[in-house]
Amino acid sequence: MKRPESIKALRDSGYQPVTVKQEMRRNLVSLIEKGENLFPGIVGYEKTVLPQIENAMLSGHDFILLGLRGQAKTRILRQLVRFLDEWVPAIEGCEVNDDPLNPICPAC
């Protein structure tokens, strides 16, 4: 896949910036439609914790994982990156990687 190399090419590609929650929700829905295991390697929480995390992501809620040591909190959090897009457009040299279509830093 060829990535846009200019702002005009990015606009022409139809790219629409979305929030992280919207991005996670979209990718979660896609994985659910494909029938994939959403949290591979997480065992024992299929009926308790994982459905609640799915509901939180579908609803766009914030959530906090509470639990004792060794209850897979970090493991679950590390797997949340799979619900993010593989790449996001950024202007080369930008220190904060802000939205190229709506930059906030003076350099962009």
Instruction: Name the residues that contact Zn ion, by CB under 5 A.
Output: 94, 98, 103, 105, 108
89/79 Cα distance (integer angstroms): 22
- Burial code of 67-105, b = ≥16 C-beta within 10 A, e = fewer? eeeeebeeebeebeeebeeeeebebeeeeeebebeeeee
Q: How far is the CB of 90 from Zn ion (least distance, A)?
A: 8
Strand, coil or helix: what is 46? Answer: coil
As given in the structure block, the two tokens for residue 14 are 């139809």
Nearer to Zn ion, 101 or 105 (CB): 105
Nearer to Zn ion, 10 or 42 (CB): 10
Q: How far is the CB of 3 from Zn ion (least distance, A)?
A: 18
Q: How far is the CB of 15 from Zn ion (least distance, A)?
A: 16
Nearer to Zn ion, 7 or 94 (CB): 94
